[in-house]
Amino acid sequence: MYKLFKMKVILAGLMFFAIACNSQNKVSNKTSMTQTNNQITPEGLEKATFGAGCFWCVEAVFQRLKGVSKVESGYTGGHVKNPTYRAVCTGSTGHAEVAQITFDPKVISFAELLDVFWRTHDPTTLNRQGNDVGTQYRSAIFYHSDEQRKVAEKSKKAADEAKIWPNKIVTEITELGVYYPAEDYHQNYYNNNRKQGYCVYVIDPKVEKLKKGFSDKLKEGVK
């Protein structure tokens, strides 16, 4: 076992907060389990896979939406088999940190998920989100079908034209390849570590933004 620290520096007023993305967590040598885009999806449900910075953030946001039954942190878009968190953090494997979302399209559509996606991270910064820098933090939509590709491209164009963000959106839209679930301690991270520094200073503001902008789409009793 060994410790891997990704330092997060958060400016708040006159204070700087140095936050490790995996502080108080030991990184295991164990590789993640292989999963592919051909895995079975429960009948009546669909999957969406988004990269929007640290997967803890993306997981926390989409877990709170009505119609979402599962959100799993994982890795995709790389060229190395069975990547570990440590390897992905170097930026050398080509993988993006992603959240794979299982949802009921009768309750929330893929287009509605994209609407949340555009507004809860900055899709205009190439290979970074705030102080998280590297290709593993790139903004990306990994589509599961040609229909998802079409919807994603249309949604991206609309978001650009609406000037949701002042700069041009640089989000990658690419077909989902081999997907790997992240190690167990990454799953449900925000809910299990609400007082951890990164959760307080980085994820909390994203969740609050979700609550204010999408109150009609939140699960009952969401916190």
**What is 59-127 written as a DSSP string?**
HHHHTTBTTEEEEEEEEES-SSSS--HHHHHTT-S--EEEEEEEE-TTTS-HHHHHHHHHHSS-TTSTT
d(CA 140, CA 96): 8
Residues 6+ apart with CB under 8 A from 23: 5, 196, 197, 198
The count of residues in the chain is 223
- Our answer to whether residue 54 is catalytic in this structure is yes
Which H, E and C letters describe 96-110, residue by residue?
EEEEEEEECCCCCCH
Kindly name the residue from 54, 57, 89, 199 that is annotated as catalytic.
Answer: 54
Catalytic residues: 54
